[in-house]
Amino acid sequence: MTREVHAISYKELIRGNRNFRNLWLGQIISLMGDWFNLIATAILTANLTGSGLAVGGLFVVRSLAQFLSSPLGGVLADRFNRKKILILADILRFFIVLGFLFIKDASQIWLLYTLTALQLGISGIFFPTKNAILPDVVSEEGVGTANALSATTWSTMLAMGAFLGGQVAGKWGIAPAIWLDAFSYLLSAYFIRKISYTQTTAKSEEPLGLLSAFRLSFQGFGYLSQNREILIIAIQKASIMLAVSGFSEVIQVELSSKFFVIGEGGSTSLGWLYAVVGVGTGISPIIARWFTGDREVALRRAIATGYIITLIGLLLMYPLTDLGLVLVGSFFRGFGIAIIWVFSTTLLLKKLPNEVRGRVFGTEFAFLTLSGAIGSGLGGWLLGVMGLSLQKLILLMGVLVLIFGVNWLFNGVLRSRKLSS
C-alpha cells in the first residue's frame, strides 16, 4: 500500500492553517489538564473509599454525564456558532473544576460525583462540537490529516498528562493537579477565541425550548437508523468502549492501588499505565495512516486489524505477574483501539453532510459514553460485589473484542465490499 499522493502533510496543516493551529493548541492544553484531573479524582476516590465499586461509580458518572449531554451538544453544534459554544464550555469547566479543592473526606464523595457530572456533562457538549467544527476550519483534503493529528494529540496528552499528573499527585498531592486542570481551560478558551470563524450552520427562527431541544436531539438517532452503513461505522467506538475501555478504567485503578503501588496511593503507577496507553494510541494513527492514507477500503481493513492488535494486548496483560508485561500489553491495547477510534471518525467526517454533522457526532458520543458507563459499572460490580478476579475480567474483555471484531469484519469490510462492487 502507498501513501495518498494529494494528502496534506501534518507540517503543512499546522504551519499553513492558522485556525486549525489555534484549535489544536487549545486541545493540547485542555487535554493535559484533563488527564491531571482524571488521575487526581480516581486516586482521591480510591483513597477516600477503598472501594473498587466506588471507583467504578466515578467512571460511570463520567460516562453517563456525557451520554446525557452529548445529544444536546449535537443539537447546539448544528444550530449555533460552534466557536462560541467551545469557548463557553471551557469557561464553565474552569469554575467547576475548582470545586474539587473543597473535597476533604469520604462524607463528601457525593460532591466529587456531582462536580464530575457537571464537568463531564459540559465535555459532552464540547467534544461533538469540536468534531463538527473540524471540517469548517480545514479543507476537504486536510480532514483526514487533521483528524489523525487531533487523535494523536489526545493520545500524546494522555501519555504526558497521565505521567506528569501521576508524578505531581504522587509527590505533592492532588491540589496542584486540580489547579492545573482548571487553568488549562482558560488557556484553551484563549486559543479558540483567536480562530477566525463564520457560522456555517443554518440559523433557525424557531426558539430552542426544552421540548424542541429534546426532539431535535433524537434526530441524530433518526439519521443513523435510516443509514445503516453510517450506523455501523458510528457504533465502533461504542463497541470498543464496552469491550475494553470501560473495564480498563477500573482495572488500572485496582492494579495501581493494590498490586503495583508506586507513589501516594498508587498514583505514580496509575500515571504510568495511562501514559503507556497514551504512547500506543499516539503513534498508532500516524503509523497506520502511512499505509492506508485516507482511502476508504484501506481504512475499513485497518479497523479490523485494530481489533486484532487490541486482543493481542489483552493476552499480554492477562498473566498480571509483572508490571512490565502489563505495560507492554497496555501499549498494544492502546495501539489497536486508536486505529478503530481514529479511522471510524475519519470515515464519518468524509460521509456526513454538514447540516446533521453535529447531531450525528452527538449521538455517536452518547453511544460511546453509555457503553463506557456500562463497562465501568459492570467492571466495578464484578470486582467489588461478585469477587471476580482481574484475570477473568480481562478474559471477558477478550471475548467481547473478538465478537465485535468479527461483526465489523462481516458488516464493515466484507459487506461494504459487496455493496461497492
**Each residue's pLDDT tens digit, 18-38:** 988 998 888 888 777 777 777
**Each residue's pLDDT tens digit, 364-413:** 888 888 888 888 888 888 987 888 889 999 999 999 999 999 999 999 99
Q: Where are the alpha helices (DSSP H) in 194-256?
A: 210-217, 219-226, 228-234, 236-240, 246-254
Compare 226 and 60 and report the one with higher pLDDT: 226
Question: By mean pLDDT, which of 160-164, 175-179, 190-194 is the weakest?
Answer: 160-164
**Each residue's pLDDT tens digit, 216-238:** 667 778 888 889 899 999 999 99
pLDDT of 45 over the 70 cut: yes
3-class secondary-structure state, position 419 = helix
CA 59 – CA 41 distance, rounded (Å): 10
CA 402 – CA 397 distance, rounded (Å): 9
Question: By mean pLDDT, which of 120-124, 212-216, 262-266 is the weakest?
Answer: 212-216
Beta carbons within 10 angstroms of residue 334's beta carbon? 30
Contact 21, 14 (CB under 8 A): yes
Q: How is residue 18 written as a grid cell? A: 492558522
**Each residue's pLDDT tens digit, 108-133:** 888 999 999 999 899 888 888 887 88
Contact 325, 365 (CB under 8 A): no
The confidence band for 2, taking pLDDT boundaries of 50, 70 and 90, is: very low
Q: Which of 11, 7, 92, 103 is nearest to 58 (CA)?
A: 103
Using CA atoms in the order 99, 105, 110, 113, what is the torsion angle rounded to 10 degrees? 60
pLDDT for 13 equals: 85
Q: What is the mean pLDDT of residues 156-171?
A: 69
Q: Which of 286, 247, 291 is nearest to 388 (CA)?
A: 247
- Which residue in this structure is represented by grid cell 501514559? 275
Contact 139, 6 (CB under 8 A): no
pLDDT for 201 equals: 66
Q: Which residues of 266-283 are buried (b: 16+ CB within 10 A; e: fewer)?
A: bbbbbbbbbbbbbbbbbb
pLDDT for 184 equals: 86
Compare 337 and 39 and report the one with higher pLDDT: 337
The dihedral region occupied by 262, where left means phi > 0, alpha psi between -120 and 50, and beta the remainder, is: beta
pLDDT for 202 equals: 61
The average confidence (pLDDT) of the chain is 83
High-pLDDT (> 90) share of the chain, %: 27
User: Residue 297: how many CA atoms within 13 Å on its side-chain side?
Assistant: 9
Hey, what domains does the chain have and what are their CATH numbers? 19-194+256-420 (1.20.1250.20)
CA 307 – CA 312 distance, rounded (Å): 9
pLDDT for 77 equals: 83
CA 210 – CA 97 distance, rounded (Å): 27
3-class secondary-structure state, position 104 = coil
